[in-house]
Amino acid sequence: DSGVTQTPKHLITATGQRVTLRCSPRSGDLSVYWYQQSLDQGLQFLIQYYNGEERAKGNILERFSAQQFPDLHSELNLSSLELGDSALYFCASSPVGGSEKLFFGSGTQLSVL
Amino acid sequence: DAKTTQPPSMDCAEGRAANLPCNHSTISGNEYVYWYRQIHSQGPQYIIHGLKNNETNEMASLIITEDRKSSTLILPHATLRDTAVYYCIVRPMNTNAGKSTFGDGTTLTVKP
């Protein structure tokens, strides 16, 4: 158990819909990262937050957005969903905003039908 | 970020040492080598990291060549539960870990 909690574990929705994925980092970790992993693909970095502020952005679509709340949990919002958005979405946390080792959650499997 | 090259797949007999190579010939002096693994769509798990000295922890050993252009992750006594995709990542210590490019990794299959 990494200490990072992601909910829900599975999510099935239809094209055009909007969903919210939730992540609770390890106790004391200030940074949260979001990754997308499509079938048989590598981990694609989406975005990072540190203590409530956006720190780094990767290949995140404009239809996707995220935020980190004062209690440090984070939410990833995916809107106008397309079939190609079906993927595993991982959240990770680390103690500081630098290149510390990452602790990953178990992921949310999103299926867009 | 320095690019890493790993073989796409490897096999290892249970109980034997698994040696997973990684080439990072463009690594810079302030970049660390990190290893993670991902077991069947679970969240990736940190294994070990190092700068230039060899490192060992309860999971594995990391051997980095003197010129730092390549490294080897060693699982001393592989078990069936070590079957996973292993990722080698090169990152500067003072930048955001979130942009770590995981690449395709090596799929290690441990066989009975």
* Alpha carbons A110 and A10: distance in angstroms, whole number: 6
Q: Are A94 and A31 in contact (CB under 8 A)?
A: yes
Q: What is the mean pLDDT of residues A65-69?
A: 97
Give me the pLDDT at residue B92, please: 75
Query: Is A27 near chain B, with CB under 8 Å?
Result: no
Contacts of A98 in chain B (CB under 8 A): 93-97
Q: Is the pLDDT of residue B99 over 70?
A: no
Please name every residue paired with A85 in a beta bridge, in sequence order, or none if there are none: none
Can you tell me the distance from the alpha carbon of A11 to that of A61, in angstroms, rounded to the nearest whole number? 19
Q: Is the dihedral of CA B41, B44, B47, B52 positive or negative?
A: positive
Mean pLDDT of chain B, nearest integer? 90
Is residue B82 classed as helix, strand or coil in its secondary structure? helix
Helix (H, G, I), strand (E, B) or coil at A84: helix
Amino acid identity of residue A47, one-letter, is: I
Q: Is the pLDDT of residue A63 over 60?
A: yes
Q: Is the model's pLDDT at B104 over the cut of 80?
A: yes
Burial B86-108, CB ≥16 within 10 A → b, else e: bbbbbbbeebbbbbbbbbebbbb
Q: Using a CB-CB distance cutoff of 8 angstroms, which residues of chain B are in contact with residue A92?
A: 43-44, 98
Amino acid at A85: D
Would you state the pLDDT for residue B96? 61
Cα angle B107-B110-B112, degrees, rounded to a multiple of 5: 155
- The minimal CB distance from A101 to the residues B41, B46, B99 is found for B46
CA distance B41 to B44: 8
Q: Determine the residue of chain B that is closest to A88 in CA distance.
A: B41
